[in-house]
């Protein structure tokens, strides 16, 4: 089958693929968010029929804001369908396709997340009709911050689409551009969704305790801001890949750039959601026990900071892949090795990031149920989070081994696939145990809130449970080692 390829055709092919991906994924988030808003609007109207008209207005406003990320995705799609990017050189096919990936996935998290503040604002208005306009303001504030990742994704999509790369070879610069799109696209999911969850709980808290409006708004904004950090890391990596991506290099350089994008892109999902869940727990805690307002901020920040360790590991692997000249042979084995390093770290960080966030959420709520027991809950939370990060550490270990290993065997397809399979094994293998360990530690923190004197026993039980739950991560690590060293 002969396919005649000229620049214009190739670029158009990339454009149209990107347009489809952008609108396809971008439609998911906004629709889900708006659906939830509509559902809760009906609940509220059902509870207070007389207020149907203000509730409908609030619902439409909330849905309009949640629509924003969908509109961004539509805009990028239309530009990709009708624009002419062939003047940007043959690299433009990777750039336009990557722009589509970036905006499509980036709109996903923010769309879903923007639904939470609106739904809680409506349900809260039904509980406390006197609040009226205040709830709408809080809703808009909560929704605004969680749109930030979608805006980052839009910025990167525009940078990609209008990047003039004429005269450059497709590889490795094209790999940098695809990596940038993956990094920002996936990286925006967790922060958008998590930030939205935090905003939602804050609105619910304001409905329950209207006089706590000011501390809740502060806590929500700080919590959401910290939850945006993983998306900011992803933005950083994407900008670096676009502006200082290497223009000459071997097969290895392409793999390194793709791996860097995958590592931070996936790695940011877990921590973004985890930090958002922590902020959610902190908001719920203050609304139940308003005396803990001052210390809850510190507690939440500590929990979020430790919960960001997996995404920091992912960022480190990304930066190392981008800047270090590796001593591995530039064959298909080396290509798969660097790609596998990114996959291993990126995926393994998802579970631990979310699990740590779950633990910190539970710890915040435990402090609310027992404010004097704070000094006992903090070590339990930190140890639980630390042990729960072990799958991410295994991912980091495998990534290091893949990046700095010596590949002296012949460069055959089985050898390359073995290395890639090692990365897949450790990457996916880190997700489940990370989440499971987080659930265990969360329950331990909650129990420590009720029974602070049993702290030692709870710590030991939690550690035993976490150690057993990590067995499957250890199996995955062993399989990864077998695939790298024995085969």
What is the footprint of other proteins within residues 315-374 (CB under 8 A)? 315-316, 319-320, 323-325, 332, 351, 355
Minimum distance from residue 134 beta carbon to other proteins (Å)? 33
Q: Tell me if 184 contacts other proteins by CB under 8 A.
A: no
Q: Tell me if 469 contacts other proteins by CB under 8 A.
A: yes
Minimum distance from residue 233 beta carbon to other proteins (Å)? 8
Q: Tell me if 271 contacts other proteins by CB under 8 A.
A: no
Q: Tell me if 461 contacts other proteins by CB under 8 A.
A: yes
Minimum distance from residue 297 beta carbon to other proteins (Å)? 14
Residue from 363, 394, 398, 407 binding other proteins (CB under 8 A) = 394
* Residues 54-113 interacting with other proteins (rule: CB under 8 A): none
Q: Tell me if 476 contacts other proteins by CB under 8 A.
A: yes
Q: Alpha-carbon distance 352 to 348, whole Å?
A: 7
Q: Alpha-carbon distance 277 to 17, whole Å?
A: 34
* Piece in contact with other proteins (CB under 8 A), picked from 61-69, 156-164, 177-185, 304-312: 304-312
Classify residue 83 as left (phi > 0), alpha (psi -120 to 50) or beta: beta
Q: Alpha-carbon distance 343 to 332, whole Å?
A: 16
Q: Tell me if 456 contacts other proteins by CB under 8 A.
A: yes
Residue from 79, 112, 227, 465 binding other proteins (CB under 8 A) = 465
Minimum distance from residue 253 beta carbon to other proteins (Å)? 14
Residue positions counted in the chain: 487
Q: Nearest 5°: phi and psi at 434?
A: -60, -50
* Residues 234-253 interacting with other proteins (rule: CB under 8 A): 236, 240
* Residues 407-436 interacting with other proteins (rule: CB under 8 A): 411-414, 416-418, 420-436
Residue from 78, 214, 460, 485 binding other proteins (CB under 8 A) = 460
* Piece in contact with other proteins (CB under 8 A), picked from 60-68, 111-119, 127-135, 301-309: 301-309
Q: Tell me if 396 contacts other proteins by CB under 8 A.
A: yes
* Residues 37-56 interacting with other proteins (rule: CB under 8 A): none
- Pick between residue 87 and residue 244 the one whose CB is nearest to other proteins: 244
Q: Tell me if 297 contacts other proteins by CB under 8 A.
A: no
Q: Alpha-carbon distance 298 to 306, whole Å?
A: 12
* Residues 151-170 interacting with other proteins (rule: CB under 8 A): none
Q: Tell me if 260 contacts other proteins by CB under 8 A.
A: no
Provide the b/e sequence for 20-44 (b: ≥16 CB within 10 Å). bbbbebbbbbbbbbbebbbebbeeb
- Pick between residue 174 and residue 430 the one whose CB is nearest to other proteins: 430
CB-CB contact of 466 with 437 (8 Å): yes
Q: Alpha-carbon distance 308 to 353, whole Å?
A: 7
Minimum distance from residue 249 beta carbon to other proteins (Å)? 14
Number of residues counted as binding other proteins (CB under 8 A): 98
CB-CB contact of 180 with 156 (8 Å): yes
Token pair recorded at residue 411: 């460069």
Q: Tell me if 227 contacts other proteins by CB under 8 A.
A: no
Torsion of CA 463, 469, 471, 473, to 10 degrees: -110
The DSSP result for 395-448, as a single string, is: HHHHHHHHHH----S---HHHHHHHHHHHHHHHHHTHHHHHHHHHHHHHHHHHH
SS3 250: coil
- Pick between residue 132 and residue 414 the one whose CB is nearest to other proteins: 414
**How open is the CA angle 345-351-352, to the nearest 5 degrees?**
80
Q: Tell me if 304 contacts other proteins by CB under 8 A.
A: no
Q: Alpha-carbon distance 352 to 334, whole Å?
A: 28
- Pick between residue 81 and residue 383 the one whose CB is nearest to other proteins: 383
SS3 89: coil
């Amino acid at each position: 089958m002969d396919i005649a390829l000229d620049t214009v055709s190739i670029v158009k092919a990339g454009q149209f693929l990107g347009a489809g991906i952008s609108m396809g994924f971008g439609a998911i988030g906004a629709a889900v968010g708006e659906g939830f808003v509509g559902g809760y609007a009906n609940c509220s109207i059902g509870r207070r029929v007389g207020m149907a008209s203000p509730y409908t207005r609030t619902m439409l406003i909330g849905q309009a804001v949640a629509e924003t990320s969908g509109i961004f995705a539509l805009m990028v799609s239309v530009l990709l369908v009708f624009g002419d990017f062939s003047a940007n050189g043959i690299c433009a096919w990777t750039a336009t396709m990557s722009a589509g990936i970036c905006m499509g996935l980036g709109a996903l998290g923010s769309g879903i997340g923007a639904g939470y503040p609106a739904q809680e604002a409506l349900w809260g208005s039904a509980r406390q009709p006197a609040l009226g306009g205040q709830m709408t303001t809080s809703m808009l504030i909560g929704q605004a911050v969680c749109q930030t990742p979608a805006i980052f994704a839009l910025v990167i999509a525009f940078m990609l689409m209008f990047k003039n790369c004429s005269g450059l070879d497709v590889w490795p610069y094209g790999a940098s551009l695809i990596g940038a799109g993956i990094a920002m696209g996936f990286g925006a999911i967790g922060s958008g969704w998590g930030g939205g969850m935090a905003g939602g709980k804050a609105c619910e808290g304001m409905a329950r305790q209207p006089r706590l409006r000011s501390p809740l708004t502060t806590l929500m904004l700080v919590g959401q801001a910290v939850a945006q950090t993983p998306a900011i890391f992803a933005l950083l990596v994407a900008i670096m890949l676009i502006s200082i991506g290497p223009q000459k290099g071997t097969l290895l350089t392409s793999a390194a750039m793709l791996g860097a994008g995958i590592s931070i892109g996936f790695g940011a999902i877990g921590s973004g959601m985890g930090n958002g869940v922590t902020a959610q727990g902190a908001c719920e805690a203050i609304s139940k026990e308003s005396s803990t307002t001052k210390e809850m901020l510190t507690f939440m920040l500590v929990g979020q900071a430790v919960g960001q360790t997996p995404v920091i590991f992912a960022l480190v692997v990304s930066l190392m892949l981008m800047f270090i000249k590796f001593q591995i042979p530039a064959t298909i084995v080396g290509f798969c090795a660097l790609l596998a390093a990114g996959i291993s770290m990126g995926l393994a960080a998802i579970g631990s990031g979310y699990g740590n966030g779950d633990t910190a959420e539970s710890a915040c709520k435990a402090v609310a149920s027992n404010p004097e027991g704070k000094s006992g809950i903090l070590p339990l939370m930190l140890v639980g989070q630390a042990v729960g990060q072990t799958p991410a550490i295994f991912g980091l270990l495998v990534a290091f081994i893949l990046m700095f290993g010596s590949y002296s065997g012949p460069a055959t397809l089985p050898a390359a696939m073995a290395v890639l399979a090692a990365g897949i094994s450790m990457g996916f293998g880190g997700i489940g145990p990370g989440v499971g360990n987080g659930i265990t530690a969360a329950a331990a923190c909650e129990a420590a809130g009720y029974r602070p004197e049993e702290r030692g026993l709870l710590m030991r039980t939690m550690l035993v449970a976490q150690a057993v739950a990590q067995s499957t991560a250890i199996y995955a690590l062993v399989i990864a080692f077998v695939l790298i060293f024995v085969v």
